[in-house]
Amino acid sequence: MFFKSDNTAAVAPRILDAVARAGAGYATPYGGDDLTAACEARVREVFEHPDARVFLVATGTAANALSLACLCPPWATVFCHAEAHVSVDECAAPEFFTGGAKLTLLPGRDAKIEPGALARAVAATGTKGVHGVQKGALSLSQATELGAAYTAEEIAALAGIAHGAGMKVHMDGTRFANTVAHLGASPAELSWKAGVDVLCLGATKNGAIASEAVVLFDPEMAWEFELRRKRGGHLFSKMRFVAAQMDAYLTDGLWLDLAGQANAMAARLRAGIDAAEGARVTNEPGANMLFAEITLGAHRRLTAAGAQYYPWPEGQAEDGPDDAPLSIRLVTSFQTTEADVDAFLDALAG
């Protein structure tokens, strides 16, 4: 019953096999190998964009921070949700890689940026000449940190505001696969066709060891990205092993199968929680993350039964009476089974 995060899961067998197969023989280092080229071609195919440039790194923080550094000069600001990973979970990596840019934090339910709030914040930025920071970039998280998915229309609306202000759009796609599986839209529809300029496509949390593809739909940024990647220490000499993961991930729909399983288990959890007495799901899930309110009594039963998850937000009192409420976060993964979910729901029901 591991629901703390999808990054506690292991590796999908087909991805591990691909890594093993990549290990034979010699290969040109630093991404000059055939597997890396094949991986780039596959990303282009999956995203129906023949000119996209693809660069692999191994962590989501690296993907996000390097991308934002290419999009936002040091004297500008990145518009993002107040709950965004780039704001709260990267120890100021965007500030570091951009050379000291700012983040402008925006509100919105389920960690989705509210378009009106974005429009107002953009309009209020860059109005003070050199005294304030300038308009830099828009960063969207798909899925959001509260488990929601932006529809293509929602992305387009936000991207339109950004583009209208001369900014590019970055998407933190750590759980992009889950939203594609959830929404049933195509990868292209949820990215460049909706106005995304740079997508950080995660695989790590959905079955890979460590592989994230930065997809530049504007190939003009490629050389700067490559230089930033290198001096950030993120250029792998044996790139083929990072490429093998991403290539296998995107082959024969594996990525969507893995995400589909995680999503299905989240849906099963959701139905069970909503059916349980004294418990309810509090977000509108668009991926593999649920936020729920349960009772402390249920929390005690779940913990005793071995369920692992986070109270969310942190810092809630856990020593109250059995009927006191507790908010929690539950994340499923490709590895989650129906048995895991049912065991959780059994313990919840008591």
**Helix, strand, coil share (%) of the chain residues, nearest 5:** 45, 15, 35
Nearer to a second copy, 158 or 239 (CB): 239
Per CB under 8 A, which of residues 9..28 are in contact with a second copy?
Answer: 9-11, 16, 19-20, 23-28
- φ, ψ for residue 276, nearest 5 deg: -80, 150
246 lies in the binding site for a second copy (CB under 8 A): no
Counting Cβ atoms within 10 Å, is residue 130 exposed (0-12), middle (13-18) or buried (19+)?
exposed
Instruction: For a second copy, give the closer residue by CB, 74 or 320.
Output: 74
| The only residue of 144, 179, 191, 204 in contact with a second copy, by rule CB under 8 A | 204
CB of 43 to a second copy, least distance (A): 20
End-to-end CA distance of the chain: 16
Considering only the stretches 34-42, 152-160, 229-237, 290-298, report the one whose residues sit in contact with a second copy under the rule CB under 8 A.
229-237
Residue selected from 107, 115, 132, 311 as contacting a second copy according to rule CB under 8 A:
132
Please, which of residues 267-326 interact with a second copy by CB under 8 A? 314-315
Q: Order of strands across the sheet with 289-295?
A: 280-281, 289-295, 325-331, 310-311
269 contacts 345 by C-beta, under 8 angstroms: yes
Cβ closer to a second copy: 4 or 300? 4
For residue 345, the minimal CB distance to a second copy (Å) is 19
Q: How far is the CB of 63 from a second copy (least distance, A)?
A: 8
User: In terms of residues, how long is the chain?
Assistant: 350
Which one of 193, 234, 301, 329 is in contact with a second copy (CB under 8 A)? 234
| Of residues 39, 100, 9, the one with CA closest to residue 239 | 39
Whichever of 109 and 230 has its CB closer to a second copy, that residue is: 230
Which of 159, 150, 158 shows the shortest CA–CA distance to 178? 150
Q: Among 51, 237, 304, 317, which residue interacts with a second copy (rule: CB under 8 A)?
A: 237
Residue from 347, 301, 346 nearest 323 by CA: 301
Q: From the CB of 113, what's the least distance to a second copy, in Å?
A: 18
Nearer to a second copy, 11 or 156 (CB): 11
Q: Tell me the DSSP string of 252-274.
A: GGHHHHHHHHHHHHHHHHHHHHH
- Over the window 59 to 98, marking each residue x when it contacts a second copy by CB under 8 A and - when it does not, the resulting string is xxxxxxxx------xxx-x----------xxxxxx-xxxx
DSSP code for 24: S
Among 5, 186, 282, 327, binds a second copy (CB under 8 A): 5
DSSP one-letter string for 171-186: EEETTHHHHHHHH---
Exactly one of 124, 153, 166, 323 binds a second copy (CB under 8 A); which one?
A: 124
In whole angstroms, how close is the CB of 121 to a second copy at the nearest point? Answer: 13
Site size for a second copy (CB under 8 A): 80
Which phi and psi angles does 310 have, rounded to 5°? -105, 130
Residue 76: other Cβ atoms inside 10 A: 20
